[in-house]
Amino acid sequence: MKTSDLIFDRSFVEGEWKAQGEAKFEIINPANGEIIKTVNDGGIAITDKAVDAAFLAFQSWKKTTAKYRAKILEKWHDLILDNKDALAEIMTLECGKPLKESKGEVSYGAAFVKWFAEEGKRTYGDIIPTHSEDRRLIVIKQAVGVVGAITPWNFPLAMITRKVAPALAAGCTVVIRPTEESPLTALAIAYLTKIAGFPPGVINVVIGKDAAGMGKFLCESEKVKKISFTGSTRVGQILMSQSSSTLKKLSLELGGNAPFIVFDDADIDKAIDGVIVSKFRNSGQTCVCANRILIHEKIYDQFSKKLVKVISKLKVGNGMDKDVNIGPMININAIKKIKGFLEDSISKGGKILIGGKIIGKYFFEPTVISNASLEMNFSKEEIFGPIVPLYKFSSDKQAVSMANDTNYGLASYFYSQNVSRCWRVAEELEYGMVGINEGLISTEVAPFGGIKFSGIGREGSKYGIEDYLDVKYMCFGNI
């Protein structure tokens, strides 16, 4: 299909495009400020209708076989890949990432659909050896029910499929609330679910600017049995509190403060490649971006010079343009945030080795700050932008201590060629994911998620479907 064929302006509920009221809002291209589309603001009212539709559809969808659900998921997977170019263009238009990255996300997102189409057939139960001659003990797994999926702007396709694919494979129905910055990608893939053959109401996408109100409604609805959220820790805490009255299952993939440690025996060139791929995806606006680069003092100067040289070759610009590596920040608030980080670091002794300037309205140069210290704000907070702070350490113990000195525990990275050190450090890092001599660790076959203030639960892999299932024990007596 053409890109224009996949751009819609209202919510997708019960298999149809539905507007609610007259309120509208504009979807803006962050690269140039142009209006991509004006969409209907359905708010809480459309969310209510979507929950009812999902609840009704669940009564029949949960009874279908995993094999039947897998066939439809496979069709959806194929349709996503068949329309990769159009979906990537929509993604780049609304969230700004370079077109090459958007195409990569389409493939990445589709991979979750493929994986869980198969994994849904493997939600095995158990036969438990009995404790009594006249009893038989059986365990089965059943779909939890309606799932509320609340997704961020920075991965508008993959964050949906990573939640929705396991839900659908398990037999759940879903109500997706994408962020107001990038709802067009969500609506586009929702349309493809209709073509794939999902029954009306199994998948619903609600559009609105009232993030707090719509989220609260999903959390407090007794018809919604699970919330899956990707976003900030602050909002995750609010959703967790709001879900307490109905004791929902929760999957929360929250903020990060990823350390990237470079030991003195590391392959420096490979480590720099790892920094680039880990730090600058989507202009540094991902939860697993390297936030703090910790470098052994013996190689600090050498590493810094090489890193600056590589970063100087990165191209900043509109994601639709050829060979662009760094697209725009999502909005003016994102620019203000990283400008604040920069100013704070300079006031506390940091030195700009490259970058540091705002270009136009929403672009920020890739920036390296040397002489970073623990007193600087980005030592404790997620940068979510193209700033690279360089810290110095002198021992393994100090490096691990600095890395763990945060409330967050999502992703971490380190480079070393010493096998013993690799095992030891990987075990000591307090993070849900560890990249060892690798800066790109996300894949559908491995569990994605964190510990501490970075969230609850895992997405992807065989573990990713478990939170969409209830365990039921059945005791057969008097046999």
Q: pLDDT tens digits, residue range 288-301?
A: 999 999 999 999 99
Tell me whether residue 13 is in a domain.
yes
Any domain includes 449: no
Shared domain for 189 and 164, answered yes or no, is yes
Q: Are 350 and 376 in contact (CB under 8 A)?
A: yes
Residue 448 lies in a domain: no
DSSP label at residue 347: H
Q: With respect to residue 326, please indicate whether it lies within any of the assigned structural domains.
A: yes
Q: Are strands 146-151 and 224-230 parallel, antiparallel or unpaired?
A: parallel
The answer to whether residues 381 and 352 belong to one domain is: yes
How many angstroms separate the CA atoms of 279 and 258, rounded? 10
Res 316: pLDDT: 97
Cα–Cα dist 326/364, whole Å: 9
Q: Print the domain residue range for 465.
A: 3-254+454-475
Residue 399 corresponds to which tokens in the numbers above?
């490096």
- What the block records as the tokens of 409 is 């525990």
- pLDDT at position 422 is 98
SS (H, E, C) 205-225: ECCCCCHHHHHHHHHHCCCEE
Q: How far is CA 138 from CA 82, 181, 477, in A?
A: 43, 47, 11
Q: Output the average pLDDT for the chain.
A: 97
CA 163 to chain centre: 9
- Give the CA distances from residue 389 to residues 293, 371, 454, in Å, rounded to whole numbers and listed in that order: 6, 8, 21
- Distance between CA atoms of residues 106 and 87, nearest Å: 7
Q: How confident is the model at residue 372 (pLDDT cuts 50, 70, 90)?
A: very high
Mean pLDDT on 29-47: 97
Question: Do 468 and 424 have their domain in common?
Answer: no
Residue type, 329: M
Same domain (yes/no): 140, 288:
no
What confidence tens digit (pLDDT) does each residue in 98-113 have? 999 999 999 999 999 9
- 298 in a domain, yes or no? yes
pLDDT attached to residue 438: 98
Residues noted as catalytic: 253, 287
Average pLDDT over residues 16-29: 97
Report the C-alpha gap between 81 and 94 in whole angstroms. Answer: 19
Percent of the chain with pLDDT over 90: 99
CATH code at position 51: 3.40.605.10
Considering the domain architecture, whether residues 278 and 330 belong to the same structural domain is answered as: yes
For residues 430 and 436, is the Cβ–Cβ distance under 8 A? no
The long-range contacts involving 355-361, CB below 8 angstroms and separated by at least 24 positions, are 355/311, 355/386, 359/316, 361/33, 361/332, 361/335
Span 372-399, average pLDDT: 97
Gyration radius (Cα) of the chain, Å: 23
- Looking up residue 328, the CATH number of its domain turns out to be 3.40.309.10
Q: Are residues 150 and 263 in the same domain?
A: no
Average pLDDT over residues 233-252: 97
Q: Are residues 18 and 157 both part of a single domain? A: yes
Q: Is position 384 within any domain?
A: yes
- Residue 132 within a domain: yes
**Same domain for 330 and 419?**
yes
Q: What is residue 382's predicted lDDT score, i.e. its pLDDT?
A: 96
Token pair, residue 77, equals 């997977």
307 and 426 part of one domain: yes
**What predicted TM-score, i.e. pTM, was given to this entire model?**
0.96
pLDDT single digits (tens) 304-351? 999 999 999 999 999 999 999 999 999 999 999 999 999 999 999 999
How many domains does the chain contain in total?
2
Residue 169 corresponds to which tokens in the numbers above? 């494979």
- Reported as a pLDDT band with limits 50, 70 and 90, residue 129 is very high
